[in-house]
Chains A and B, each alone.
Chain A
Amino acid sequence: MAKIAISVKVNGVEHTAEVEPRLLLVHFIREALRLTGTHIGCDTSHCGACTVVLDGRAVKSCTVFAVQADGREILTVEGLEHEGKLHPLQEGFFQEHGLQCGYCTPGMLMTGFAFLNSNTAPTEDEIRHAISGNLCRCTGYVNIVKAYQYAAEKIREGGTQ
């Protein structure tokens, strides 16, 4: 299959590659760039384990072709920590026991990153709707909501986002 040249900035680093037009963004991230924090959990855009932030918006990278990311900027879970300092969401998940098996966690974090960009004082109901496209089978969501609230408070107090 003919390949197409793309150029994508991922976690601040420019990458160029020749990819098949059918290559999914999630496979590009995981297998070409070897950033395996972004996971795959379903085939139908329901579980959200593959969520990354594309030009500031949370997208499910299993439903985006790599070629669609050409010329754009992506943030994955590996890009959340900044100069050795955890993002407030990462801190929140750790402090509030917001994860168990850890498989949905990167997607939950990236959805949260985009969400808290637009809303740093969310209600519980707003948080629950924000993560309704991310399935977690372990935690029952209670502590994920708390992790978001923890992060929102940190961000309001001037923590980095």
Chain B
Amino acid sequence: MTPRTSAEIGGMGHSVKRKEDPRFIRGKGNYVDDIVLPDMLYLDIVRSPYAHATIKNIDTSKALAIPGVLAVITGNDLAQYNLHWMPTLMSDTQMVLPVEKVMYQAQEVAAVLATDRYIAADGVDAVEVDYEPLPVVVDPKKALLPDAPVLRTDKEGKTDNHIWHWEWGDKPATDQAFDEAEVKVTEEIYIPRIHVSSIETCGCVASFDKISGKLTVWMTTQAPHAIRTVFALVAGHVGLAEHKIQIISPDIGGGFGGKVPVYPGYVIAVAASVLTGKPVKWIEDRMENLQADSFARDYHMTAELAGKKDGTLTALRIKTIADHGYTDAAANPSKFPAGLFHICTGSYDLKAAHVEVDGVYTNKPPGGIAYRCSFRVTEAVHAIERMTDIFAHEIGMDPAEFRMKNFIKPEQFPYKSVLGWEYDSGNYAGALKLAMERIGYDDLRKEQAEKRARGELMGIGISSFTEIVGAGPSKHFDILGLKMFDSAEIRIHPTCKVIARFGTKSQGQGHETTYAQIIAEELGIPVADIAVEEGDTDTAPYGLGTYASRSTPVAGAATAVASRKIREKAKKIAAYLLEANEDDLEWEPGKFFVKGSPDRAKTIQEIALAAYTNHPQGMEAGLEAVSYYDPPNLTYPFGSYICVVDIDKGTGEVKVRRFVAVDDCGNIINPMIVEGQIHGGLTMGLAPALYEEIQYDESGNILQGSFMNYLLPTAVETPKWETDKTCTPSPHHPLGAKGVGESATVGAPAAIVNAVVDALWHLGVRHIDIPITPPKVWKALRDAGVSE
């Protein structure tokens, strides 16, 4: 798209350098652990070594004897205020601190309050807890057996570990399509438990002023406004009211979904500050972050795909067991316990589909958050893209040709899927075609055939994903009842400098730059003249926050709408100043002019000044607007990724030789930032595909509890990503834009797995669960009789 504005104005389509960077490259960011207040105390947490155990006694005497240790807070202390349990975002319940028993290893047991970070840690070491171990359940399938110990003994009348059953789609029609199908493929697909591991962990500084009754909390949160409301609802009975709660989300060192939930540490820190009247800092370390904060995924799926011998797909059926740990603390819209998993028909024109998900309790940490995706979309895409590939291989059709045959066609949009979504726009064949050209698909297939003849293992994998982002329309989308709108408030000063505030919160996405570009696009005011603020609930308008790729689809739309309200008023002022009829005015970025007389013009700068110094009689002074945008639909970004892998027969190591990513997120605000988002997303797609997994032994001990063995990709493992784009604007978004921050994380894993299986299919390998580690491939090769 050719930009409509000059480089100086810097509207949409310009790769404007980021406004946030000057502070970060100088080490002058302001992250939560950088905040120090006078008389601040430190909180550290005692955690359980057992995955399931009764707490018989907590002896705090030795800890309290340490100079500088001021208090040890236990569940019994919180129970006096009825704060020992809290609600989760999914309306389940989670312990803040336990009174009777612990439910997973690393669960919070008690908290030590001290004058210094090191003394607090000493105090943690000195707290003596007497546990009586209980039977542990780590496997969700075993958790559903009739003789499994019931974990949630706190829930009266609960007789099993089943949380909820959710299903969607037309079951009879789907069953009939399967009965009539010429070809059916089935696969057990496990998407393991992983962790977002933003490089900054979670933490907060809570500061309660006993005189004013005001609580201020600087915290690592992606959704400060919702958090304020949750605090007010949960702690209203101890005197916290919403007008006296200020949540400040400072610079955030990566979120990816892990900074949406409320963790017990935050609540304990707030309670400690309210009780002492002093500021309290709680910063978790990496092991606490990995072992106790919300996990992602952990979906055990049985997926089936039906179709004809000619390669026409007809129906999809998926049954899933979702391991939620000991409580359902997922971060999904309330009506959707399995998130937007029912986007699982993907990019294909299926005639029937039915999905079922059962949530299950186990002795693991709670969660079910996103890992840089929109509410279970990665699980959905992984299922359909794996099954599509298996089907194509099964009938001996090239996976690219197979996809082309089954894609929803451009002329079918807006497309109503059998699972009820209305896809806004797409050109799936266009994206795949471009990806095939970019990577040289036909030549690669020839090379693969030659190598296979020589016994070498090379694979080519495709993933043609469709995402669903930008939650969401208020009719269906809320979190704890709060509708999922978002907001922009734009105020133009007399000298035409701008302050704009939003209900979202950047964690690296570059909102300070991109929101300014939207305003620049709409009002012709240079990006340099626009200041963007987010994250302070005392000043910013209410919004649901930044996750699930919703900032551009929702708050970005609000920015455009608010800008256009300002432009409407500016037009009236311009008409007054020019002594012209409003209908005779035309807009070009930065000024109104009289049609046919371009010399008779008023710039936005002149209009802004007049709004405060010479506004028309009968009109209110000032130039500002706010928009709370309720999106009419979600946006459906898509893309086609092609991955080439070489496999070492001796070690089983998978080497990603090339990876071409073609994305389509509609109209682009800042191409540089979009490309950066895709690079990062691809790397977070590579990570679970080849490296990351959190496992537990039979006793519930975590096996990947630090960066020693939870393997984030480094620059050495990460390929040199090749990116390209097509552009299919969203018809309902005011800017034609879609979300993009998570597309690559969603789409990449399937491309990598498909490439590996493509390399091994002729040996009888149909599927390997991620992460595809060398031992798994080595074993598959040996099972197939390949020795070297």
Q: Is the CB of A46 within 8 A of B118?
A: no
Does B287 lie within 8 Å of A93, measured CB to CB?
A: no
Complex Cα distance, B681 from A51, in Å, reads 25
B residues within 8 A CB of A34? 36
A44 and B28 alpha carbons, distance in the complex (Å): 25
| Cα A104 to Cα B707 with chains together (Å) | 15
**A40-B33, A104-B199 are known contacts. Are A129 and B708 too (CB-CB below 8 A)?**
no
B198 CB contacts on chain A under 8 angstroms = 101, 103, 137
Decide if A63 is an interface residue (CB 8 Å cutoff): no
CA distance A153 to B198 in the complex (A): 31
CB <8 Å contact, B708 and A141: no
- Decide if A4 is an interface residue (CB 8 Å cutoff): no
Residues facing A in B1-44 (CB within 8 A) are 17-18, 20-29, 31, 33-34, 36
- Beta-carbon nearest neighbor of B122 in chain A: A1
Q: Quick one: which of A124-146 are within 8 Å of B by CB?
A: 124, 127-129, 131-145
- Residue from the list B118, B197, B676 in contact with A143, Cβ < 8 A: B676
Please report which residues of chain B, range 167-200, place their CB below 8 angstroms from some CB of chain A when the two chains form the complex: 196-200
Return the contact of A141 from the options B28, B117, B509, B715 (Cβ within 8 A): B715
Of B129-137, B249-257, B332-340, B759-767, the one touching chain A: B249-257
Contact with B along A29-40 (1 / 0, CB 8 A): 011001111111
| Contact, CB under 8 Å: A128 / B507 | no
State in angstroms the CA–CA spacing of A95 and B15 once bound together.
10
**B27:A35 contact, CB within 8 angstroms:** yes
CA distance A39 to B510 in the complex (A): 20
CB–CB B253/A139 < 8 A? no
CA distance A102 to B508 in the complex (A): 7
Instruction: Flag A43-83 by CB within 8 Å of B: 1 or 0 each.
Output: 11011010000000000000000000000000011101100
Q: A49-B199, A101-B198, A131-B715 are in contact. Are A81 and B254 (CB under 8 A)?
A: no
Which A residue sits closest to B685, measured CB to CB?
Answer: A140
Q: A93-B25, A138-B680 are in contact. Are A42 and B286 (CB under 8 A)?
A: yes
Q: How far is the CA of A122 from the CA of B121 in the complex (A)?
A: 43
How far, in whole Å, are A27 and B34 apart by their CA atoms in the complex?
11
Contact at A140–B680, with CB atoms within 8 Å?
A: yes
- Indicate with 1 or 0, residue by residue over B707-723, a CB within 8 angstroms of chain A CB atoms: 11000101110101100
Is A27 touching B117 in the complex (CB atoms < 8 A)?
A: yes
User: Which chain B positions have C-beta within 8 A of A124?
Assistant: 720
Residues of chain B lying within 8 A (CB to CB) of residue A15: none
Write the nearest CB–CB distance from B656 to chain A, whole angstroms.
12
Task: Return the CB mask of B666-686 against A: 1 if under 8 Å, else 0.
Answer: 000000110111111111100
Known: A97-B676, A124-B720, A137-B197. A38 touches B715 (CB 8 A): no
Known contacts A78-B26, A101-B252, A135-B714: does B679 contact A140 (CB below 8 Å)?
Answer: yes
Kindly state whether residue A5 has any CB partner on chain B within 8 Å: no
Nearest CB on A from B588, distance (A): 30
- In the complex, whether A22 has a CB less than 8 A from a CB of chain B is yes
Given the complex, which residues of A lie within 8 Å of B695, measured CB to CB? none
Which residue of B is nearest A27, CB measured?
B117
Docked complex Cα distance between A90 and B252 (Å): 20
Quick check: A128 and B200 within 8 Å, CB to CB?
A: no
CA distance A99 to B253 in the complex (A): 11
Query: Of B117, B200, B285, B679, which one neighbours A101 at CB under 8 angstroms?
Result: B200
Instruction: Tell me the chain A residues, 97-114 only, with Cβ under 8 Å from chain B.
Output: 97, 99-106, 109
- Judged by a CB distance under 8 angstroms, whether B706 is at the interface is yes
The DSSP consensus for interface residues of chain A is loop
**Residue from B25, B509, B676, B721 with most neighbouring chain A CB atoms (10 Å):** B25
Among B22, B24, B28, B672, residue most surrounded by chain A Cβ atoms (within 10 Å): B24
Which of B22, B197, B285 is A43 in contact with, Cβ under 8 Å?
B285
Q: Which of A27, A42, A100, A139 contacts B509 (CB 8 A)?
A: A100
Number of A-B contacts (CB under 8 A): 178
State whether B508 touches A101 (Cβ < 8 A).
yes
List, in ascending order, chain B residues with CB within 8 A of A140's CB: 676, 678-683, 718, 721
**Residue on A nearest B198 in the bound complex, by CB:** A137
Is residue A41 within 8 Å, beta carbon to beta carbon, of the partner chain? yes
Residues of A within 8 Å of B551, CB to CB, are none
B25 and A97 form a contact (CB under 8 A): no
Q: Which residue of A lies closest to B716 (CB)?
A: A132
Taking A78-B26, A140-B680, A143-B679 as contacts, is the C-beta distance between A44 and B707 under 8 angstroms? yes
Chain A residues near B510 (CB, 8 Å)? Answer: 100
Residues of A contacting B252 in the complex (Cβ-Cβ under 8 angstroms): 101
**Of the candidates B28, B199, B675, which one forms a contact with A135 in the assembled complex, judged by CB atoms under 8 Å apart?**
B199
The range of chain A's interface size is 35 or more
> Inside 8 A of A44's CB, which chain B residues have their CB?
286, 706-708
With A and B bound together, what is the CA distance between A144 and B721 in angstroms? 13
Complex: A137 Cα to B741 Cα, angstroms: 13
Q: Within the complex, what minimum Cβ distance (angstroms) separates B682 from chain A?
A: 6
Are A128 and B28 within 8 A (Cβ)? no
B566-589 near A? 1/0 per residue, CB < 8 Å: 000000000000000000000000
Of A86, A137, A144, which one neighbours B684 at CB under 8 angstroms?
A137
Picked from A41, A46, A100, A128, the residue with its CB within 8 Å of the CB of B680 is A100
The reply to whether the CB of B201 lies closer than 8 angstroms to some CB of chain A is yes
What distance in Å separates the Cβ of A62 from its nearest Cβ neighbour in chain B? Answer: 10
8 Å CB contact of B27 from A77, A127, A141: A77
Q: Is A14 an interface residue (CB 8 A)?
A: no
CB proximity of B751 to chain A, nearest CB, Å: 15
In the complex formed, the residue of A with least CB distance to B708 is A44
CA distance A93 to B17 in the complex (A): 10
Is the CB–CB distance between B707 and A37 below 8 Å? no
Flag if A77 contacts B26 (CB, 8 Å).
Answer: yes
Instruction: Give the distance to chain B from A89, nearest Cβ to Cβ, in Å.
Output: 8
A102, B679: Cβ atoms closer than 8 Å: no
Q: Distance in Å from the Cβ of A122 to the closest Cβ of chain B?
A: 12
State in angstroms the CA–CA spacing of A75 and B18 once bound together: 26
Closest CB-CB distance, A26 to chain B, in whole Å? Answer: 11
- Nearest chain A CB to B72 CB, angstrom units: 21
* In the complex, chain A residues whose CB is within 8 Å of the CB of B287: 43
A104 cross-chain contacts in B, Cβ below 8 A:
199, 253
Q: Are B199 and A94 in contact (CB under 8 A)?
A: no
A39 touches B31 (CB 8 A): yes
| CB atoms of A43 and B507 under 8 A apart | no
Contact B684 A99 (CB under 8 A): no
B682 touches A37 (CB 8 A): no
Which B residues touch A27, using CB under 8 A? 117
| B24 CB contact (under 8 Å) in A49, A99, A127, A134 | A99
CB distance from B159 to the nearest CB of A (A): 41
Best-surrounded residue of A101, A105, A109, A134 (most CB of chain B within 10 A): A101
A18 within 8 A of B: no
- CB-defined interface of B279-294 with A at 8 Å, one 1/0 digit per residue? 0000001110000000
Other-chain residue from B25, B251, B680 in contact with A90 (beta carbon distance below 8 A): B25
Nearest CB in chain B: distance from A124 CB, A: 7
Q: Which residues of A contact B256 (CB under 8 A)?
A: 137
CB of A129 within 8 A of CB of B716, answer yes
Query: What separation, in Å, do the CA atoms of A104 and B508 have in the docked complex?
Result: 11
Q: Is the CB of A81 within 8 A of B26?
A: yes
Given contacts A39-B200, A128-B715, contact A103 B673 (CB under 8 A): no
Contact of A137 with B714 in the complex, beta carbons under 8 Å? no
Shortest beta-carbon distance from B706 to chain A in Å: 5
A23 partner residues in chain B, CB cutoff 8 A: 118
- In the complex, the answer to whether A37 meets B27 with C-beta atoms within 8 Å is yes
Give bound CA distance, A135 to B677, whole Å. 16
Check A99–B25 contact: CB distance below 8 A. Answer: yes
Lowest 4 A-B CB distances belong to which pairs? A37-B27, A101-B508, A103-B253, A102-B24
Task: Enumerate 16 A-B pairs (CB-CB under 8 Å) in ascending A order.
Answer: A37-B28, A39-B33, A43-B285, A43-B286, A76-B27, A77-B25, A100-B680, A101-B508, A102-B20, A102-B23, A102-B29, A109-B25, A135-B712, A135-B714, A138-B676, A140-B681
18 additional A-B pairs beyond A140-B683, A142-B720, beta carbons within 8 Å, are A27-B117, A30-B33, A36-B31, A37-B28, A40-B33, A47-B199, A49-B199, A76-B27, A78-B27, A97-B673, A100-B510, A102-B25, A102-B251, A103-B253, A105-B24, A133-B714, A135-B712, A140-B678
